[in-house]
Amino acid sequence: MRRHFFGQGNDCSIERIRPTDHSLLMEVTKFRFTMKIQLNHLIDQYLTDGCGRCPLGGTPQCKVRTWPMELRHLRRIVLESGLTEELKWGVPCYTFESSNVAVVAAFKDYCSLSFFKGALLQDAAKILCKPGENTQSARLIRFTSVNEVLEMEPVLKEYIKDAIDVERKGLKVDFSAKSKLELPEELQLKFEEMPELEAAFMALTPGRQRGYLLHFSAAKQSKTRSTRIEKCTQQILDGKGFHD
C-alpha cells in the first residue's frame, strides 16, 4: 500500500486505502486536517511545475522534477517544525513571525534546505555549507537521495528549532568585518573623473556596493577592471545593483 501525503491542490491524496483500514484512515484524516491549514497551494504548483524562472518549467528537464520525493519530505519536515509556508522568489520559503528562516530548493546536482542566518546556527553535526565563497549569512544542507533526508530528519528539526530561536532572540549577522572592501584604483580614478558616479555608488546599499567591488576586484588585469567598471557605470548611476 502506498501513501502520498502531497498530491494535487492543498489537500493530501491517498491511494489504495482499503475500507477496513479504519485506524489508518483516521490517522490520514487527522494528518490532512492538520496540514490543510498550513499548506500553500503555490508550493504545490512549484512541486509540479518548478519555479517558472526558466523555459524548462513543467518539463521532465526541470530541476524540481529531479528531486520530487526529497523536496516533499523536506517540506513536511519544515512544516512539522512550525514554520509558515510561503512562495518567494519562485521557491518555497518558510518564515517565523514574518521573518525569513529557510528555503527549500532544487539544483542540478542536489536539492537543499538553506537557512538565511545559517552562520548563526551551532552546526553541531557539521553539515552546513556556504552557497558561495563570499556568502556571509546563508548556509545550506545538500541532499541527493530520499534516504539522506529521512536519516537526517531528527537533526534537521533541531537545526530548524535553532533557527527559530535565532529569530526569537532577534540575533543579526555582523556584516561589518567583511564589508570594508578596498576600492580598486581604477574605480577611484573613475570617481575623480565622474563625481556623480561616486555619489551614486555611495548611495547604494552595502550589499550592492559589495557586489560591484567583488566583480571589479576579481579581474586580475587593470584593463579588465576598467572595462568592467565602464560596463557597470550606467547601472550604478541608475541606482541598481550588479545582479539587478
**Domain assignments of the chain as residue spans, ordered by start:** 38-168, 176-237
Q: What is the mean pLDDT of residues 101-126?
A: 94
Q: Is residue 177 very low, low, confident or very high in pLDDT (cuts 50, 70, 90)?
A: low
pLDDT at 180: 60
- With beta carbons less than 8 A apart as the criterion, state whether 50 and 56 touch: yes
Residue 6 reports pLDDT greater than 50: no
Grid cell in block for residue 8: 494535487
Residue 164's pLDDT is what? 97
CA 154 to chain centre: 21
Distance CA 36, CA 215 (A): 45
Look at residue 35 in the predicted model and tell me its pLDDT: 44
CATH of domain 38-168: 3.90.1150
pLDDT confidence of residue 162:
98
Assess contact for 210 and 179: CB atoms under 8 A: yes
- Closest by CA to 62, choosing from 91, 94, 101, is 91
Joined together, the cell numbers standing for residue 13 give 491524496
In terms of Cα–Cα distance, which of 53, 163, 174, 27 is closest to 106?
53
Give the Å distances, CA to CA, from 160 to 37, 77, 157, 198: 20, 9, 5, 42
pLDDT digits (tens, 9 = 90+) for 200-229: 898 888 888 888 999 998 898 989 999 999
Instruction: Please provide the average confidence, as pLDDT, over all residues in the chain.
Output: 82
Average pLDDT over residues 49-71: 87
Least confident of 5-19, 50-64, 66-80, 189-203: 5-19
pLDDT-derived band at 134 (thresholds 50, 70, 90) equals low
Identify which of 118, 33, 218 has the alpha carbon closest to the alpha carbon of residue 229.
218
Rg (CA), the chain: 23
- Mean pLDDT, residues 61-88: 94
For 160-172, how does the pLDDT look when each residue is reduced to its tens digit (9 = 90+)?
999 999 999 999 9
**Do residues 114 and 91 lie in contact, with contact meaning Cβ atoms separated by under 8 Å?**
no
Tell me the residue type at 150.
L
Residue 42 to residue 58: CA distance in whole angstroms: 14
